[in-house]
Structure 1
């Protein structure tokens, strides 16, 4: 008996919202990025809407040329732990870097959150995109690692982490008060990993969780990023400019899975959208324009610069054709950089049009409108296999999230595209992912 495919939903939480000027909105809480109660409220609203995941991104340096709300924000592991304690079934996921971390510490942190949450944790694995190179200077390095070298390290890093998560068999801890046997030493395993970048003995000093291991999330779309995702990721966040590009990416990434002995249903692709919903299309568009009023054009361009090689847009007028801008070599998110360059050349955008085109709510897709219009667009992307679901970056929090939960979710449910209740208590159960078998029991 087959289960009908259903939309999966995650939401990207950042302060008062993803829109670069959200903090200036009359209804916004400007310091929401360091307010635990705000994040707890967002998580509870998303859980009411039966979302699969609430997600926290991260940065490890102050980049004044980026979204203002990343200048002042929590460590993701800390805030997802707080959200876990305030929710019951929704998955909680955070970003942590393979470039500026050690596998043992990260494995222990996320395994701890997985236990605290009852098996609802996810790790968004990044190699750290840093156009300015500032992060390296905070970690005793002179410069940011090169793109391909970061991915070489990441390949080893995830193997170490996943190996450490298998240190204990599921029934290793006996807690036998009569015999005095706390654990079965035959069911404890040392990793003894030796590679180019890491030498790790193990075992990890924490047992496997209710869901076995935290869910592995990634967003890399470059060639090394896709190889890593096809081998190890269970959820991938994607951002493509239109549905046809998204369908091509979806097909290409899924086609890589058999090479690693994996089936298509072992990896979910969630497409990034920024919906704004109104009772009428006119109301939704007015909400969008109200956000746009808060934009300082050059401040918004600072956000773009982080994806375009950290170019200084202040040297150009807003009417300058963007194809005339001199873009330095990029050592951050390469796939997004090249896609943006392609669009700039094809559409003859001006410098002043860049933020709205690439990062404004809904970009040029159909996610601003009535609940029915937004649901229609989501259904189209889902049924045409452009995505398995969506990573929703709400422009203004909590208001756009509340509107989506109250107005769009019921439509998706009535159409049979989305759950009425959670399938289980763990993130893996709700995503339809299997519990990974312990590698050491496989060898027995």
Structure 2
């Protein structure tokens, strides 16, 4: 088959930045065992995925987190920094970015944990800044309204970054006998005082091997965009199903960064994508039918409320149209506002009409873009969005990657195709995540 993109070099900088969201295990076959695993406590499965992603030269792992669990359908999981510390010892080049909430931790603890991970991994760590929409009953701490959470998060990020910079890069040295020497004059108190935080510092961990860990941010509401444009190195956005709105979102983030005096190139925009990949389009469609066939629609109905503004879908038939007039306006949602906005727009556009449609979208990509097709077809679509200025790269979501080929559909098939087109690197060029991301 003729590849219309073959040999073409990217006209945009370093090429695509690619990440992999590890929201759970099950995306690859376990070595030495048959079948797939859904054991969210199985460290061997996480290690296998991380090493597979590193073999594919993916820039970074993103680790999602859930601080609480459902009363009706509880699921176990692992705490992000503990898990990523293990993966740091089992990998050598791939980045390690963990989600940690600003709502239920303290800046000093977070700064210390992430910077420790950064030293353990020799400069490959990052923090995905998230605010929580639940957890107040578990942590015994009031949860502020949506806009207040983001105001607190901005102060929180400022404290963390000041702590990361409280040691000068050359504060620590070693004499000829290998003894550590610390220049106390190059270790500084930060004396941070703001509305929500009073932190003296300095941190008790020295400067990062990459100057400071990567700061990522996930959230596309107006408040989330402002925060990300001001402080983040990487923006993880919802992968919108249409290209033009993706271009608009990309330009908005870059313009906001410029307004804060930052270079637009200083942040990387990585929308989520959950591709369904086959050797042919027909095979990919068959894989997709398998995805839909395995959806538990009654369980899916129960999970919609947390993603859809608390709307109760229990009394609506699966094939009944969603009552748009009964849905709250996006600006009124206090939970996951940007994600709700994506789903509401799908309903408004008519692409999602019934509760069944909504559950399929939610179960398959959590609102993200899920293109279906052959390796070349998927590569065409990714390249088109990249070269039209809709993205700096993509964050692969594993919702659909556990079927058939597993993660190897990306690492063994899609990535080599992107490399042949000259839009993805063939190897890591640097030691640290910050350098490899080009930020």
C-alpha separation in 1, matches of 2:334 and 2:374? 40
Contact kept? 2:59, 2:94, Cα under 8 Å: yes
C-alpha separation in 1, matches of 2:275 and 2:342? 22
Q: Which residue of 1 aligns with 2:203?
A: 204
Deviations 1:256-282 (A, max 9, x none): 112221111100001111112111112
C-alpha separation in 1, matches of 2:197 and 2:432? 31
C-alpha separation in 1, matches of 2:366 and 2:180? 58
Q: Which residue of 2 aligns with 1:29?
A: 37
Secondary structure in 2 matching 1:155: helix
Aligned residues: 416
Matches within 5 A, 1:12-91: 12-16=21-25, 27-31=35-39, 33-64=40-71, 71-91=75-95
Q: Which residue of 1 aligns with 2:337?
A: 334
Residue 423 of structure 2: which of 380, 402, 417 is its match? Answer: 417
Matches within 5 A, 1:20-169: 27-31=35-39, 33-64=40-71, 71-130=75-134, 135-141=135-141, 143-169=142-168
Contact kept? 2:250, 2:390, Cα under 8 Å: yes
C-alpha separation in 2, matches of 1:129 and 1:362? 16
Contact kept? 1:15, 1:397, Cα under 8 Å: no
Q: Which residue of 1 aligns with 2:300?
A: 300
Distance 1:320 1:138, change over 3 A: same
2:432 paired with 1:426 = yes
Secondary structure in 2 matching 1:314: coil
Contact kept? 2:103, 2:143, Cα under 8 Å: no
Matches within 5 A, 1:215-254: 215-239=214-238, 240-254=240-254
Q: Which residue of 1 aligns with 2:30?
A: none
C-alpha separation in 1, matches of 2:416 and 2:307? 36
Residue 412 of structure 2: which of 400, 403, 406 is its match? Answer: 406
Matches within 5 A, 1:250-329: 250-323=250-323, 326-327=326-327
Distance 1:339 1:363, change over 3 A: closer
C-alpha separation in 2, matches of 1:278 and 1:180? 56
Distance 1:324 1:6, change over 3 A: closer
C-alpha separation in 2, matches of 1:181 and 1:83? 28
C-alpha separation in 2, matches of 1:27 and 1:242? 35
Distance 1:243 1:374, change over 3 A: same
Q: Which residue of 2 aligns with 1:193?
A: 192
Contact kept? 2:273, 2:370, Cα under 8 Å: no
Contact kept? 1:9, 1:389, Cα under 8 Å: yes
C-alpha separation in 1, matches of 2:301 and 2:180? 62
C-alpha separation in 2, matches of 1:225 and 1:295? 31
C-alpha separation in 2, matches of 1:253 and 1:56? 23
Distance 1:361 1:281, change over 3 A: farther
C-alpha separation in 1, matches of 2:151 and 2:219? 13
Secondary structure in 1 matching 2:114: helix
Alpha-carbon deviation of 1:144? 2.5
2:20 paired with 1:11 = yes
Secondary structure in 2 matching 1:315: coil
Alpha-carbon deviation of 1:361? 4.9
- Normalized against structure 2, the TM-score is what? 0.89
Q: CA RMSD in A?
A: 2.3
Deviations 1:350-383 (A, max 9, x none): 1111022344259796721111001101100100
Q: Which residue of 2 aligns with 1:22?
A: none
Alpha-carbon deviation of 1:55? 1.2
Which residues of structure 1 form unaligned runs of 5+? 19-25, 434-444
Q: Which residue of 1 aligns with 2:31?
A: none
Deviations 1:114-139 (A, max 9, x none): 00001000100001133xxxx00111
Secondary structure in 1 matching 2:139: coil
- Normalized against structure 1, the TM-score is what? 0.88
C-alpha separation in 2, matches of 1:111 and 1:29? 31
